[in-house]
Structure 1
Amino acid sequence: MRLHCEVEVVSRHLPALGMRNRGKGVRAVLSLCQQPRSRAGGEPGDRPRACLLISTLKDKRGTRYEQLKENIEQFFTKFVDEGKATVRLKEPPVDICLSKANSSSLKQFLSTVRLAHRGCEVNAQLSTLTPVKTSEFEKFKTKMVITSKKDYPLSKNFPYSLEHLQTSYCGLVRVDMRMLCLKNLRKLDLSHNRIKTLPATIGDLIHLQELNLNDNHLESFSVDLCQSTLQKSLRSLDLSKNKIKALPVQFCQLRELTDLKLDDNELIQFPFKIGQLTNLRFLSAARNKLPFLPSEFKNLSLEYLDLFGNTFEQPKVLPVIKLQVPLTLLESSARTILCTRIPYGSHIIPFHLCQDLDTAKTCVCGNFCLRSFIQGTTTMNLHAVAHTVVLVDNMGGTEAPIISYFCSLACYVNSSDMLK
């Protein structure tokens, strides 16, 4: 039985000697092997002993720990679902720290080691005690860059340990499902292909931090992706040079985003809750069809902003009035739920009501409004939200129209100077 992972062997004598371990694992192959009878000792009818062999690319013959039976002091498996575990041996007094392993393979390997420790029969699962081949370490590649169709692997899988995968100019029309099995993936570059849709299972890549989809044929970014584990992991997203007209309001749940590129699409609006992207620092949406910015755009705090080449309209003189007097029961209830932050979900109230609450507008006073509001347009200097601003037009302007909402006539009157 073999396990591919990173290994660090830490001697427990080091602290007593005033020394510290390196704190970094190396790529290795762990083999649970059967010792030769000449080394295992005992009578001919005795059961062969299991030993643990740790082989690296520099030492393919490996380091052998010959005694496993009743020689394991403790297993540390709190993070086994993340591919991490530690096996503490009694003699020699070392901790064998494992990381970046396939979680299911790691669980199976530890289960077999535990049986060997108890002296149970594990012969059927033991490997031969032979040096590991160099080809075994090909599975440890962390980065793969493919930039032509002829180099794209068709007959073999991607190395499971990949953390950075780039497949550009390969003519892909869909995301290869084999990529979605790469659970260690942190950067996925699918730029310069012909991909039209994204599978929701991209959201299962729990460590994915950078996703590059530049120059494809995408027309949308699905709600499922916005509500996946990408909410906690995704830092950089490049959707430039596609055919996207709008992003769902749920897009603003990707709150770890720091870098967002939307250049050269067909955007007619930003998600109106874009102000919830509090970690966003770099935003580029040049050469789209944006007529105005949403009111919550004012809540952003950017280092770099590029909105050049959009079809910004002149602010309208007259506001759009959609006030309802008195407020409907739906409007009044929605405002109460949102203002008091009462939790809601489709398991509590009907789904269409959840959608209404998710798309509620924010008044300049901080309250919320659903269908009863006044809508006004003014301009804002983009330097108010960004340190560096690319000029909006060829005339040297840095101002853009912005939509504002007012939950009542009083709010509109009190803020009327904003709309002059």
Structure 2
Amino acid sequence: MKIICDVEVSNRLLPSQNMTGSRRAVRSTLGIGKLDSKSENIFILHQTTQNKTGNKYKVTGNIEGVFTRFSSEGKATIRFRAPPHDLCLRSADPIQLNCFLRLLRNTLEGKADRVTSTKAETGNLKENNQLPGEVGKSKSRLGVISPASKLLAGIKRTLKIFKRSDYPSVLGFPKTLEELQISRLQLSCLDRQVTRLPLLRMLDLTDNRLSSLPKELSLLPNLRELRLAHNSFGESCDKGVSSTSTRLNATENEKWGWIGGSLLTSLTFLDLSYNKIKHVPDVLCRLKSLLNLKLDHNEISVLPSGLGTMCKLRLLSVSNNSLLYLPGSLRKLRLEAIDISNNPPMEREMQLPRRLWPESLSPSAVLGMPTLFEFAARKVVSMGLHPTASDVPYPIVTYLSSANFCICGGPCFESKLKVLISMDPRSIAFSVAWTSGSGNPPTLAYLCSLKCLESVKKAVY
């Protein structure tokens, strides 16, 4: 049996000699079986395109441990005694990996080499294509390991589809795909076969008519790059739905329900340009590993206040929209580049700073004392918890989703101050695309306490 996965070979003796290995996983083939038909020894053969001969590891009496806690995610580790190597398996198909590990376990227990057929097991000999003289003979489950160079060379890793005739509707998508592009087909819904590609790293669905994605997409463990430009994600979600806010919120949450699961920690690139998006969902801010976010050429007027909590974000592009102001939480970020050009409402002259509460009230009176419920909600959000309606009552879920984020990065609800200030975009990014003649862009800052108010007092007063 053979499986294809990423394998990192770790030598356990190197740390004791103050040395480090490459620590790099390589696309490989792992086979388990005999080296020839006459041999009784069973080996695991590790082969790559660079090492076609492969390295063999004896199985019987030579395995110190097998770590399978994350086998459902396509990960496992096999530890050998001699040589003192650990084979760290990643990005394997979970089903194939579990079959491989089951065969390895049976081999270690002496069950996989020979299996005796009995009459009860064989039943009718003719139906089993077995001769009478073969009853009771042993049947080998472990075959001879053949070279895997051709197997590796024939792996389908990339697929590009630009015509309906190229769509694999009969055979389906190869399970080994790492990059998939389906463009210019005017698709209105995504084939759920795509959500069953465990090795997929890049998905390009540019130039279709998609308005949502299946929730199962969030289960892809290795998806890094998602390109959704020139689609219809800004299409109104209230078509055929009653106008009650609760119903609209539920429909909106369902529309962006694919943002979750494994994508929260794996996705690094997201392109939603040219989608006529008017409202950016707050759930987008949960993509904590995102490095590059493109929202160009939409109809966005307000960005989520939690955008500044995406601490790994390096490139932000929101050009050619209708932005009124930037979220104050962006002060927490250190971007490599930001593009906020061609946002006419934000380029108008405005008197700043501007307090957005009645002048007759003092800041402490507006803030008041947060309730115990709000203190608890702030703690839940700051801990990164996202309970659903199956965990807590739905009104609490709605309340938690209404959190605004202070310039300090903390969440706030009813107890807050709002103020428009001027923020130099060069203070948060090395490279800035902005109409310099219009001054600094206005920034809406939420303030969760008097301490945060003091930090921007010079800008406010």
If the length of structure 2 is used for normalisation, what is the TM-score? 0.70
Alignment partner, residue 360 of structure 1: 403
Alignment partner, residue 189 of structure 2: 174
Taking structure 1 as reference, are residues 379 and 108 closer, same or farther at Cα in structure 2, changes over 3 Å only? same
Taking structure 1 as reference, are residues 238 and 187 closer, same or farther at Cα in structure 2, changes over 3 Å only? same
Alignment pair present for 1:332 and 2:371:
yes
What's the CA shift for 1:271? Answer: 0.7
User: Could you tell me which of 426, 429, 447 is aligned with 1:383?
Assistant: 426
* CA–CA distance in structure 2, aligned partners of residues 148 and 58 of structure 1: 32
* CA–CA distance in structure 1, aligned partners of residues 232 and 410 of structure 2: 39
User: Could you tell me which of 321, 335, 344 is aligned with 1:302?
Assistant: 335
Taking structure 1 as reference, are residues 106 and 266 closer, same or farther at Cα in structure 2, changes over 3 Å only? same
* CA–CA distance in structure 1, aligned partners of residues 442 and 14 of structure 2: 64
What's the CA shift for 1:60? Answer: 12
* CA–CA distance in structure 2, aligned partners of residues 211 and 64 of structure 1: 36
Alignment partner, residue 74 of structure 1: 64
Tell me which amino acid in the other structure corresponds to 2:311: T
* CA–CA distance in structure 1, aligned partners of residues 12 and 429 of structure 2: 52
What's the CA shift for 1:260? Answer: 0.5
Taking structure 1 as reference, are residues 311 and 59 closer, same or farther at Cα in structure 2, changes over 3 Å only? closer
Alignment pair present for 1:3 and 2:18:
no
Tell me which amino acid in the other structure corresponds to 2:396: L
Taking structure 1 as reference, are residues 414 and 303 closer, same or farther at Cα in structure 2, changes over 3 Å only? closer
What's the CA shift for 1:276? Answer: 0.7
User: Could you tell me which of 96, 99, 113 is aligned with 2:104?
Assistant: 113
Unaligned runs of 5+ in 1: 41-48
What's the CA shift for 1:132? Answer: 6.5
Secondary structure at 2:375 match in 1: helix
* CA–CA distance in structure 2, aligned partners of residues 83 and 401 of structure 1: 48
Alignment pair present for 1:159 and 2:170:
no
Tell me which amino acid in the other structure corresponds to 2:319: A
What's the CA shift for 1:301? Answer: 2.1
Alignment partner, residue 445 of structure 2: 404
* CA–CA distance in structure 1, aligned partners of residues 11 and 378 of structure 2: 57
- The worse-fitting range, judged by mean Cα deviation, of 293-302 and 198-207 is 293-302
- The worse-fitting range, judged by mean Cα deviation, of 146-155 and 132-141 is 132-141
- The worse-fitting range, judged by mean Cα deviation, of 312-321 and 144-153 is 312-321
* CA–CA distance in structure 2, aligned partners of residues 410 and 96 of structure 1: 52
Unaligned runs of 5+ in 2: 115-138, 235-251
Alignment partner, residue 187 of structure 1: 202
What's the CA shift for 1:136? Answer: 4.4
**Is contact 1:140-1:160 (8 Å) kept?**
no
**Is contact 1:214-1:239 (8 Å) kept?**
yes
* CA–CA distance in structure 2, aligned partners of residues 13 and 269 of structure 1: 55
* CA–CA distance in structure 2, aligned partners of residues 374 and 10 of structure 1: 54
Alignment partner, residue 44 of structure 1: none
**Is contact 1:152-1:170 (8 Å) kept?**
no
Alignment pair present for 1:267 and 2:259:
no
What's the CA shift for 1:94? Answer: 7.8
Tell me which amino acid in the other structure corresponds to 2:329: E
Alignment pair present for 1:27 and 2:28:
yes
**Is contact 2:34-2:142 (8 Å) kept?**
yes
* CA–CA distance in structure 2, aligned partners of residues 252 and 204 of structure 1: 18
Taking structure 1 as reference, are residues 115 and 399 closer, same or farther at Cα in structure 2, changes over 3 Å only? same
**Is contact 1:83-1:102 (8 Å) kept?**
no
* CA–CA distance in structure 1, aligned partners of residues 21 and 414 of structure 2: 62
* 1:49-70 residue CA offsets vs partner (Å, 9 max, x unmatched): 58457486879997797986x4
What's the CA shift for 1:188? Answer: 1.8
If the length of structure 1 is used for normalisation, what is the TM-score? 0.76
Alignment pair present for 1:229 and 2:262:
yes
* CA–CA distance in structure 2, aligned partners of residues 66 and 328 of structure 1: 67
* CA–CA distance in structure 2, aligned partners of residues 411 and 53 of structure 1: 60
What's the CA shift for 1:287? Answer: 1.1
* CA–CA distance in structure 2, aligned partners of residues 63 and 33 of structure 1: 14
Alignment pair present for 1:204 and 2:205:
no
**Is contact 1:52-1:64 (8 Å) kept?**
no
Taking structure 1 as reference, are residues 267 and 30 closer, same or farther at Cα in structure 2, changes over 3 Å only? same
What's the CA shift for 1:232? Answer: 1.3
Tell me which amino acid in the other structure corresponds to 1:333: L
**Is contact 1:212-1:238 (8 Å) kept?**
yes
Alignment partner, residue 282 of structure 1: 315
Tell me which amino acid in the other structure corresponds to 1:242: N
- The worse-fitting range, judged by mean Cα deviation, of 95-104 and 238-247 is 95-104
* CA–CA distance in structure 2, aligned partners of residues 289 and 353 of structure 1: 32
Percent pairwise identity: 25
Alignment partner, residue 85 of structure 1: 77
What's the CA shift for 1:263? Answer: 0.5
* 1:16-63 residue CA offsets vs partner (Å, 9 max, x unmatched): xxx998876453362546964xx25xxxxxxxx584574868799977
What's the CA shift for 1:412? Answer: 7.3
* CA–CA distance in structure 2, aligned partners of residues 410 and 26 of structure 1: 53
Taking structure 1 as reference, are residues 146 and 289 closer, same or farther at Cα in structure 2, changes over 3 Å only? same
Alignment partner, residue 87 of structure 2: 97
* 1:195-229 residue CA offsets vs partner (Å, 9 max, x unmatched): 22111211111222211111112227855334322
Tell me which amino acid in the other structure corresponds to 2:105: R
Superposed CA RMSD in Å reads: 4.6
